[in-house]
Amino acid sequence: MQKSAFSIALSGIVLTAFIINVSAPPRTLLERVKKSGEIHVLTRNAATTYYEGSQGPSGLEYDLVKKFAEYLDVDLNIKIRDNLNDIISQIEKGTVDFAAAGLTVTEERQNRIRFTTPYQQITQQAVYNTNNNNIEKRPRKLADLMGKRINVLANSSHVEQLSQLKLKYPKLSWTESKNTDSSELLDMVANKLTDFTIADSNEVTLYRRYHPELRVAMNISKEQPLAWAFAKGSDDSLYKEAQNFMAHMKKTGELAHLIKRHYHHASKYQYSGTNTYLSKVRSRLPRYQKMFETAARENKLDWRLVAAVAYQESHWNPHAVSPTGVRGIMMLTNNTARQLGVVDRTDPKESIFGGAQYLRKMVDKVATRYGLEEPERTWFALAAYNVGFGHLTDARMLTKLRGDNPNKWTDVKETLPLLRQRKWYSKTRYGYARGNEPVKYVESIRSYYDILNWYLDNGKPKIAERSILAFKSSAL
């Protein structure tokens, strides 16, 4: 009897729990993401979206979604797809939470998926090679594209735009590439395998540093927005949270900061210097690469960064001398050389090891005094290497005085040139400085570093090998 009563009671508890569980409303997508502790984001490999850099994952889209994951207090799970149609299909099916893949908002895509508030504006541009014999002069109108080889990314917004233009220019034709990405199409133009491609203006800004022979013929669209893409449906909880996040990023200025951090240095780069730089990469760098690698390893630095600093300083010329008396590959002053134990500044090994040691000191000093994380830590350290730690500290103080963030390079580099003006340097401890120089210094090194990474990853290993052999032969 007691057992029967106990069984009845237990059955009642189980039934009650079942009823409560069944009647409880299902979790929203936002709740499921927070409950799982992970968000799944689809992107594509590109300099403007996501790529593995020397210091780990990078790219504007990556930085944005990483901040969104932190905003939600969940881990970020990145999935890579390069086929645009596949990306949109997976969004529709709900196999990922959303896509952050540099997607242009178009009418056709809005019929399939929904977009957040845009985070960036781009323009579609027709890109050509100035050394292409098939193109006699710069094309300035769409009619100039008729009869030319045009390759574009399949299922892209570029195809949509060209299809619209074809209504007015029936002879306009192109080839759609399914198994290439946007950077490979730009490579094809650079290598004269096609006459034109269509690329977004932000990609062109970054990529022209690698191939200065590439030129923009014309814009083929007005400004277009880039945004994150979500599946359509009744559950808009995660979508609304993404909208709140974008509004927060815009209001705080963090979005503008990220865009400047990824693009501003590239937009200021003098493309004409790339050919000279790559020539020196092939002819001079092989002589000193092992020294850069060893010195960087001993000082826990990226050797490509040390090499980029040395190129900015001397173009890898061990006998370089400035009017102020600094000399050698790393252009060390007498005082700095003495502090570092460098006896002969024109000795390549001594100079490189001394320069790497000094840069390490600057990085550590920035970390200790300012508490900065990467990549800000490196940019500030480079500025200190050039202008001195005191002037950099003055610039940070003035940046804060102006209401900007002294811990962001994008803000401090706006203030540094003010150290030339009495109105501003009179407020500082260390006084006047040619503050525009460290800005140009840092931005140039960033581009040299990017170009060197690109060259080593995608460049010309056979040419590099020939350069090494040529150097060995000349040394015999």
Residues 444, 309: Cα–Cα separation, whole Å: 9
- Both tokens of 159, joined, read 């195809």
Catalytically annotated residue among 61, 203, 241, 313: 313
Residues 202, 267: Cα–Cα separation, whole Å: 9
Asked if 393 and 370 count as a contact pair (C-beta separation under 8 A), the reply is no
Residues 419, 383: Cα–Cα separation, whole Å: 14
Which of 209, 105, 202 has the alpha carbon at shortest distance from 446? Answer: 209
Residues 397, 406: Cα–Cα separation, whole Å: 7
Query: Residue 332: phi, psi to the nearest 5?
Result: -85, 145
Residues 398, 132: Cα–Cα separation, whole Å: 49
Cis peptide leading into 57, omega within 30 of 0? no
Residue with tokens 């963090």: 254
Length of the chain measured in residues: 476
Could you count the other beta carbons within 10 Å of the beta carbon of residue 442?
24
Sign of CA dihedral 7, 9, 14, 19: positive
Judged on CB neighbours under 10 Å (0-12, 13-18, 19+), 131 is exposed
Give the Cα-Cα-Cα angle 149, 155, 160 (nearest 5 degrees): 75
Distance, C-alpha 125 to centroid of its chain: 20
**Partners of 120 in the beta sheet?**
226
DSSP letter (8 states) at residue 46:
B
Asked if 228 and 115 count as a contact pair (C-beta separation under 8 A), the reply is yes
Confirm whether 313 is a catalytic residue.
yes
**Partners of 68 in the beta sheet?**
none
Active site residues: 313
